[in-house]
Amino acid sequence: SVPEIGLGFWYQVGPGATTSAAQGIGYVEEFISRLTQTRITTSDSAVNASIVSSNITFPLNQPIYVDVTHDTTIASSEYHPRM
């Protein structure tokens, strides 16, 4: 039924999952880096250091950015009652 699907999603891959904070923090760090135009120099999360350290692959001076991630990563980074 629909409620079971919703609860399964919530606790397996959504904000209720025990790993959700770890999955979403890299996305949030990169998003903040672009907004503040501050390069990420150290990270203990899912940030790809070889990409964010380059001006070519991770520019900070553009008027618009297009970053791609999975919808569950975004949803997971928005709600963390355990943090």
Q: What DSSP string describes 20-73?
A: HHHHHHHHHHHHHHHHHT------SSS--HHHHT-TTTS-S--S-------HHH
The model's pLDDT over 23-74, given as tens digits with 9 standing for 90+, comes to 778 888 888 999 999 999 988 887 889 999 999 999 999 999 887 777 766 6
On the CB side of 44, how many CA atoms lie within 13 Å of its CA? 1
| More confident site: 37 or 83 | 37
Nearest-angstrom CA–CA distance, 63 and 55: 15
Identify which of 26, 37, 41, 36 has the alpha carbon closest to the alpha carbon of residue 74.
26
| More confident site: 25 or 77 | 25
Residues 11-32, mean pLDDT to the nearest whole number: 80
